[in-house]
Chains A and B, each alone.
Chain A
Amino acid sequence: MIRYIFRRLAAGVVLLLVVTMVVFAIFFLVPRLAGIDSDGLAARYIGKSPSPEAIAAVKERLNLDEPITVQYWEFVSGLVMGQEYDSGTDIIHCDAPCFGYSFKTNTEVWPQLLERLPVTGSLAIGAAVIWLVAGVSIGVLSALRRGSLLDRAAMMTALAGVSLPIFFTGLVSLALLSYYWPIFPPGGSYTDFTENPLAWAHGLVLPWVTLAFLYAAMYARLTRAGMLDTMGEDFIRTARAKGLPERTVVTKHGLRAALTPIITIFGLDFGLMLGGAVLTESTFSLPGLGKFAVDAIRGSDLPVVLGVTMFTAVFVVIANLVVDVLYAWVDPRVRVGA
């Protein structure tokens, strides 16, 4: 087991390195291959109608005239050890881990990422709890009462949930439950958990439910299919033949096996979401990572876009790692192939 975790960890580190390469290539290599020279590239990091001096300074700071390998080295070492953007006349420090520096707002990206993480984290965790509980239990009930009214109603709702986009369900819920009946605060209101937990939860109910609705629908369908397969397995018959009560058969024997593949998908979904639930955050104007990224894209603030991309990738890789370890713990057969 320990060896297995160790191997996964090593694989995770390699994967992260590959991610930095890909992200770097997208932002620095691809434009170059597309025929944009270093002047053009540098101009993208400054506001409109840049002066030649400003371009020269950015080129110098980002080493855009150096070979691509040197640039990549600066980029990666900056992530680990911090970086200094030297324009020749002045030096901008960016502390480790340096996720980039916005020349437009003259701020480091990393502290801003950290600042927005709790918002996205709150949203993701709350929604995940709701969608897991709702999705899995509805899926199990549907599978056990296959073909019943409950099953059909649940699957119809799930179909709707999968099909309706978040900006639709989100806006409808805001219109109804915030403006028409002012039960919940309007969009854009976020109170930090440490400040007032109740206000925190109250403000997040609508985004949670909206986001969870989509995922709960997917998970209900997945769970239902998994449970239907599992309940037809021979070991379920064995469990019944032992004289176990049906509840034990379903939960201990059926659900355990059916949940295993769901763990994998959950890990990936959750990891991705920590990098920003773009649609939900935009719809509810929550100051999270997703909104941060959208604003940066709108303002062509490339270092921020790059930083958020890297940050999200890191979360996905970590989530993957956690899933792998969890999987081995849940399903002993996985450890054999370790």
Chain B
Amino acid sequence: MTDPVVSVSDLRITFPTLEGRITAVNGISFDVPAGGAVGIVGESGSGKSATSLALMGLHRGTNAEVTGDITVVGKNLATATDGQVRNMRGNDIAMVFQDPMSSLHPQYTIGNQLIEAYKVHRPEASSADARKRAVESLDRVGIPNAAKRINSYPHEFSGGMRQRALIAMGLMCDPTVLLADEITTALDVTVQAQILDLLDDLRSDLGMSLILVSHDLAVVAGSVDEVLVMQNGDIVERGDVRRVLSSPEHPYTKSLLAAVPRVDVSRAQRRAQVRAERTQSAPRGLSAQAKKALKAKAARQAAAVEDESAQQRTGATAKPEKSAESAEQPLLSVRNARMRFKVRGGLLGRASDFYAVDDVSFDLHQGETLGIVGESGSGKSTLSRMITRLLTPTSGQIVFEGRDITRLPEYKLRPLRRDIQMIFQNPYSSLNPRVTIGDSIGAGLRVQGESNTKEIQRKVQELLERVGLEASHYNRFPHAFSGGQRQRIAIARALILRPKLVICDEPVSALDVSTQDQVLRLLDELQDDFDLTYIFVAHDLAVVRQVSDRVAVMRKGEVVELNDSDTVYEAPQHDYTRELLAAAPVLDPVEAKKHRAQRAELRRQSTAA
């Protein structure tokens, strides 16, 4: 057995704050064997990023205090000089960062930045050599036409290509260890799968060791041998990835695993589970009668699930709950909606047409949830903005409760705004930081003509309690809340007007898995209590499956597949849907390997064709 390439013992990192020192990492130890792959998993605040920065010696010169020993490829970071540490960075251990947009310098070409990474460690290399090396490296990570794209600027690359370029930068000096910090978080599922496949290839081809840091267990499942689960600066569980994922020992790992949305759990199963748990835990403020009703609902649902398995999931089973009503008038119906944007470009700056949404039609019934999945640029957000009439469709119709609202002027739309509300993705930027949350939530009431301040406050506080916050939070500002709490505030803001239709645009994609799970549960409960109809827009296939009765898959502005959710997931009709499903990360490492092989096969076919 050779020496480990990275060895950490009793690593402790503290940061000074106004309230005294905060311990980010609390005495952890681990080894990474040569050629091995270790995953570090944890939610925000677990200390995983502080750990990875420590491995690079990047806490030097900051206020952070690092104690304990870190040895990287035979060098002890605690005793090394600044020069030695610089020598190690990029050469022995290379780090690939999250958010490739901000991690690349916007004013230098990709090639320039790659060459720089090479020449700093190989000062004797000629410019031509360095350039050749950069082209090879870009080629290696799958950038097409690398020799030409080397002269591109980061903004000329797509998100996935930027991430590849960052990996290529890491590979410039053939490092012994590659440290990847949340590198797929900002990416679409298919791109995420490609990047993870690439890392796997690089590992086997170049014999590199890999440290994969992520908040997502499913991301590490298929790519590492050993996994460390971190919570509040401690490693709470470690071991072989198959063992940890199949039979976790620590309660935190268990809860984390339980919270991960699974692509193979259907809406009906999850709903039944949520309702069952709800009746058991007897939530506050719910009358005995309501509990009874819920119990009945849950029982019906459980029966339906059994039915379904009996029918061996023929695809037509999991009908929307209120299928009896589908004969009635739909709540919302979108007919041949198109949205055209003018794109400037070309030699003379002539505008060309670009259809962000192209001929989309569907009906949505009361109490139903329609999931819309698609990757970035697929038009899903544009579509939701058209339905709320934040955008006016170029052509087609939006019919709400039998009324054509496509071209209603703003003053006639106002009463309608009460009925259609939106919940946005980023809970940090979608709340005004200078307005108390009470005012933020109450603004809707005020706009709709309520002027009794006491009454507004009463309603808002009631709703705050309903979404799991406290009435006393009324006068606080958004910065006092965590991401999950802020999303609850956003939900309260959408619900204060008792809307009929709520459009959730990526409502949980910025949240940690466990928070994600709580927010999804809340949305489920609220749907029951307020008889809401949802349109749920997300890129995460598993999340969409769990909340949707029906699912529309969008690509390049078109709906390529629209069916009830079980059919879409169990028997996808369109190639693109299959591609998406194959790319979705799965928790089972064996399954993940299988998917990877499948993807490789798909790629071979497409290159052969």
Contact = CB atoms under 8 A, between A and B. Distances in A.
Interface string B328-349: 0000000000000000000101
Nearest to A244: B120
Interface in B199-254: none
A242 B116 CA distance: 8
B102 A234 contact: yes
A91 interface: no
Contacts of B87: 243
A19 B347 CA distance: 31
Given A257-B107, A331-B106, A241 B91 contact: no
Interface residues on B, range: 20 to 34
Interface residues on A, range: 20 to 34
A293 B120 CA distance: 55
A322 interface: no
A235 B106 contact: yes
A244 B105 contact: no
Interface string A245-286: 110100001001100100000000000000000000000000
B86 A238 contact: no
Contacts of A61: none
A235 B56 contact: no
A332 B58 contact: no
Contacts of A253: 105
A332 B111 CA distance: 14
Contacts of B107: 256-257, 260, 330-333
Interface stretch (B93-101, B421-429, B530-538, B599-607): B93-101
Contact of B90 (A242, A246, A330, A332): A242
Interface in B60-104: 61, 86-91, 94-95, 97, 99, 102-104
A245 B104 CA distance: 17
B407 interface: no
Most chain A beta-carbon contacts within 10 A, residue among B107, B153, B166 = B107
A33 interface: no
B153 A243 contact: no
B72 to A, nearest CB: 12
B55 to A, nearest CB: 10
Given A234-B103, A235-B105, A332-B106, A245 B153 contact: no
A45 B105 CA distance: 58
B155 A243 contact: no
A240 B85 CA distance: 10
A242 B120 contact: yes
B169 interface: yes
B155 A333 contact: yes
B106 A245 contact: no
B120 A243 contact: yes
Nearest to B179: A241
B95 A244 contact: no
A259 to B, nearest CB: 10
Contacts of A152: none
Nearest to B56: A241
A335 to B, nearest CB: 9
A243 B104 contact: no
Contacts of A330: 107
Interface of B: 56, 58, 61, 86-91, 94-95, 97, 99, 102-107, 116-117, 120-121, 153, 155, 166, 169, 347, 349
